[in-house]
Structure 1
Amino acid sequence: MLFLVGIGHLIWDTEMFRPLSTPTRLPPTAEHPFGTDTQGRDLLAIAILGTPLTLRIGLIAGIVAISLGTVAAFLSAYYRGVIDGAIRSVVDVGLAMPALLILILVRINVGRELSTDEMGIAIGLTSWVFPARTIRSQVLVMREQAYVELSRLSGTSGMGIIFKEMMPNLIPYITASLVASVAGAILASIGLEAIGLGNLSDPTLGMTIYWNIQFSSITLGMWWWWVPPLVAIVIVFVSLFLISSGLDEWSNPRLRKRV
């Protein structure tokens, strides 16, 4: 993971991701450890460039989703009343609608390729309802705690209670939700790109799968073309799972290992 995201571009010529920069259909060799595709692109260069791009989409989408979801959750759970009813209605409708289908319709109606950042924002705008519901349930429990009630009786404003008393205690949970949102966004982006709705010029993991499908790499027997993106995807999700597990252990004392 560190090699693909951090140091790979420092020790490998990533310019070989361009078409016709290498011989075509080469199996893995010393010069091209991951081989090359039918367009003459080095697959190691594509993996080194594509993994960070895919993570970028996930991070942008996760930050957008968590930001909107957290704001909606606090407004809904703390202030209740009409605000709570309106937000819960929007969340319920959003949860009932297939997010991937909405993204497909958005991409088709835009009429052009979405950039990496635009895809991340679009995914985030369609997925904020998931963290909104889970964070709201946590805020509802915390709202009834004695220290929150004491702050309310002492005259602290609602926003003051949210930012000074409640938010710090929910940071571990919100961070864990961010990791989950990033993982979901990466999966959504790969799905969109695999069916050809990504940016054709970006060497992301999803677009690598798309080109595999377009050029029938399995039929051609080019196993070295489809294996690297799948391995990279597995590495990304395992890494995110380990991060999420660590955050759960940090936020929940009962999960901490005894020394």
Structure 2
Amino acid sequence: MTPPHRSSRWKEWSGIIKRDKRPLVGIIILLIFILGAIFAPWLTPYSPSSTEFTPLAAPSWHHWLGTTSSGQDVWAQFLYGGRISLSVGFFAGFIATALAVILGMLPAYLGGWIDTVMATFTNIMLVIPGLPLLIVITAYVHQTGPVTIALVIGLTGWAWGARILRAQTLSLARRDFVIAARLAGETQWRVLIGEILPNMLSLVVANLVFATIAAILAEASLEFLGLGNPTVITWGTMLYWADAGQALLNGAWWWIVPPGLAIALVGLSLSLINFGVDQVSNPRLRLNKVKVPKSRKGASS
């Protein structure tokens, strides 16, 4: 038997999808890329690192997205590269969101010198440009790989989310329901997790969405600049080798467009899903279509 809270959540999501198709479109797009990455060995017979094919061959029935200047199948690289690019994006996004929740909400709720110190540290992190900081860190880290890049992006990408969550926590901490929970004898952790955090669900999910998008873009940027491991196949290294192989000068558009378009579509899908999360956590944002009776229509005319 389905628990009541799960059935109510499902009804909310199904009602939102009926009224607003944007979350559904986002889920479909994201699932296509995730399933393509998971079932890559079944969707292509070629190895992404194999160099046995004709260099710079145009798309055909044998090679759906053509080949690279080294004779590698672009479709195989596209599928296998999505595994690492998506993994790095979501892993770094979760790290950045978790740090934003901990370093933004907890000091703001506790107040005092802890909040002052963390607010100052957050402002310092916001002043430092993100991409140059990533470039400096990855340049000094030996054996840079996908895991290292994900950790660096996650550990440096929490500041914006922490600042927003801190401001919202300071606002909610003064609300009547929080004060009532304190007077009822609830512990600080119970108030923070049970009362304040559920009312910030849309902000937390939005931070996860945009942190993931930023992480995918940052990973692609670092790989494109040659600061990652060029032997690991990702969407970023595909762009790196396309630039090194002068794909534009050779007219090999099929080598550049797929990874760039995939990064853009994944970002779009996450943004569309965020519309649905906002409507679940905040009913005032739901797009309710009010039906006007025919009698009123005739009277108004």
TM class by smaller structure: over 0.9
The farther-off stretch of 62-71 and 231-240 is: 231-240
Q: 1:47 aligns to what?
A: 78
What SS class does the counterpart of residue 18 from structure 1 fall into? coil
Question: Are 1:173 and 1:251, in contact at CA under 8 Å, matched by a contact in 2?
Answer: no
CA deviations 1:98-119 (Å, max 9, x no partner) are 121111111111132x221221
Q: 2:34 aligns to what?
A: 5
Q: Residues 25 and 56 from structure 1, CA distance in 2 versus in 1: closer, same or farther, beyond 3 angstroms?
A: same
Shift of 1:15: 4.1
Q: Residues 243 and 215 from structure 1, CA distance in 2 versus in 1: closer, same or farther, beyond 3 angstroms?
A: same
Matched, 1:205 2:225: no
Identical aligned residues as a percent = 32
Q: 1:131 aligns to what?
A: 161
Instruction: Choose between structure 1 and 2 for higher RCO, CA contacts under 8 A separated by at least 6 residues.
Output: 2
Question: Are 1:14 and 1:48, in contact at CA under 8 Å, matched by a contact in 2?
Answer: no
Shift of 1:184: 1.0
Shift of 1:129: 0.8
Shift of 1:123: 0.2
What is the alpha-carbon distance in structure 2 between the residues aligned to residue 170 and residue 4 of structure 1? 29
Q: Residues 10 and 116 from structure 1, CA distance in 2 versus in 1: closer, same or farther, beyond 3 angstroms?
A: same
Shift of 1:61: 0.9
Gaps in structure 2 of 5+ consecutive residues: 1-28, 290-301
Q: 2:277 aligns to what?
A: 247
What is the alpha-carbon distance in structure 2 between the residues aligned to residue 130 and residue 51 of structure 1? 27
RMSD: 1.5
State the number of aligned residues.
Answer: 258
CA deviations 1:51-95 (Å, max 9, x no partner) are 231111111111111111101112221111100100001000000
What is the alpha-carbon distance in structure 2 between the residues aligned to residue 42 and residue 232 of structure 1? 17
Question: Are 2:105 and 2:166, in contact at CA under 8 Å, matched by a contact in 1?
Answer: yes
What is the alpha-carbon distance in structure 1 between the residues aligned to residue 93 and residue 196 of structure 2? 21
Shift of 1:212: 1.1
Q: 2:179 aligns to what?
A: 149
Question: Are 1:75 and 1:83, in contact at CA under 8 Å, matched by a contact in 2?
Answer: no
Tell me which amino acid in the other structure corresponds to 1:258: N
Question: Are 2:216 and 2:263, in contact at CA under 8 Å, matched by a contact in 1?
Answer: no
Q: 2:58 aligns to what?
A: 27
What is the alpha-carbon distance in structure 1 between the residues aligned to residue 138 and residue 248 of structure 2? 28
Q: 1:68 aligns to what?
A: 99
Matched, 1:59 2:59: no
The farther-off stretch of 187-196 and 88-97 is: 187-196
Q: 2:18 aligns to what?
A: none
CA deviations 1:14-56 (Å, max 9, x no partner) are 6421141422211000011100001111111111111231111
What SS class does the counterpart of residue 207 from structure 2 fall into? helix
The farther-off stretch of 197-206 and 12-21 is: 12-21
Question: Are 2:96 and 2:154, in contact at CA under 8 Å, matched by a contact in 1?
Answer: yes
TM-score (norm 1): 0.94
What SS class does the counterpart of residue 17 from structure 1 fall into? coil
The farther-off stretch of 44-53 and 86-95 is: 44-53
The farther-off stretch of 84-93 and 201-210 is: 201-210
Among 98, 105, 122, the alignment partner of 2:136 is 105
Q: Residues 239 and 21 from structure 1, CA distance in 2 versus in 1: closer, same or farther, beyond 3 angstroms?
A: farther
